[in-house]
Amino acid sequence: MDCLSLSYKNADVELREKLAFTGCQTAEISDRLCCLGSVQECVLLCTCNRTELYYNGNENAKDEIISILSEAAELESERLKKYLFYFSGDKAIYHLFKVASGIESMVVGEDEILGQTKKAYFAACEAGTVAYELNMIFQAAITCAKKIKTETKLSKSSVSVATLAAAEAAKNCRNILVIGANGKTGSTVVKNLISYKNVNVKAAMRKYHTHGVSFSEKAVEIIDYHKRYEYINHTDCIISATSSPHYTVTLYDLKQYVGDDKNRLFIDLAVPPDIDPAVGEYGNARLINIDYFEELARKNNEIKLSSVREAEEIIQAETDQLKKELLFHDFLPLLDFVKEKMQQKPFEDLLYKMKSEADSNAFLQFINVLKDMVEE
């Protein structure tokens, strides 16, 4: 398995947003890739902070993948190639395990990435773009991530971007408007906000999106999305976290409703961005986006270094087990042939061949297995 990766580590939010593909785009790209002939199977993972393609293919696959991703993102392929990280074989497997467990996240140990990894994998299964190897690898990575969450403190004290945003808003603001509160990030922001005292929370949602909202309407006032500008005029902080392809707040419309110089905090947690960048230059407005929380996340990450080491030990053991399963699967078609050969040749031939060709660690393990068989 190989992996091409673009994340907050190697690209800014402007570049990442160009590769923040929707579910339909992801399915279309994956289908195109698997029709190339150079790509046998693939899973495309897209989040706010990363776009990664995990795949099996031949020597032409990498360049063809970059070409298709560039076309979909409307970028020059040479520009995209400049920023992509490439992982191959064991390194690609290890990277996926770290991503799924949250070790590679901007906020180490955050919970959302496991669900996003599962969603990407299930979408690939439904689209028929995965076969035995990627099935094995992704299932093992998801299982390992769950084990890490259970056996370490990596996610028990996690602080997600949504939690950090809520803390930033509640620090100095009393009246807060959340746009997109029905989404994963937006709902997490709201749930965190209502845990703070002396904070009034309003949630702007479209009427047909209010079904299934889990937070109490007693704690949150739900307003019509189309009236959001009217409420901004009486709000200290506006947080937007939608999957809209268009701005939810523009400078042009803001000027129609807000004419004072009141200090206002705008927090944009969307990729592509929800809030017109020009808003940050209007009056006493302050606009921060998802990249702002990288430094806050870094401080949180330092606290979790010990948990990361524990998690990496688990990953090392789990990936080793996975590699053995994959090797055994590849060997199975030869099993009967080898058994027949073993009956024709003395066991000593195998023993001396191992002694001659294996390194000392592998030979020691082989000898120990034989000793265990004798003792049994």
Residues taking part in catalysis: 48
Q: Tell me which residue of 113, 174, 120 sits closest to 149, measured CA to CA.
A: 113
Cβ pair 241, 269 in contact under 8 A: yes
Q: What is the C-alpha separation between 248 and 251, in angstroms, rounded?
A: 10
Residues forming a β-bridge with 223: 204
Give the rounded distance of the alpha carbon of 296 from its chain centre.
Answer: 19
Residue with tokens 């948990």: 307
Cβ pair 239, 232 in contact under 8 A: no
CB-based burial label for 177 (10 Å; 0-12, 13-18, 19+):
buried
DSSP labels, 31-55: HHHHTSSSEEEEEEEE-SSEEEEEE
Give the rounded distance of the alpha carbon of 27 from its chain centre.
Answer: 17
Residue with tokens 């970028």: 75
Q: What is the C-alpha separation between 98 and 312, in angstroms, rounded?
A: 8
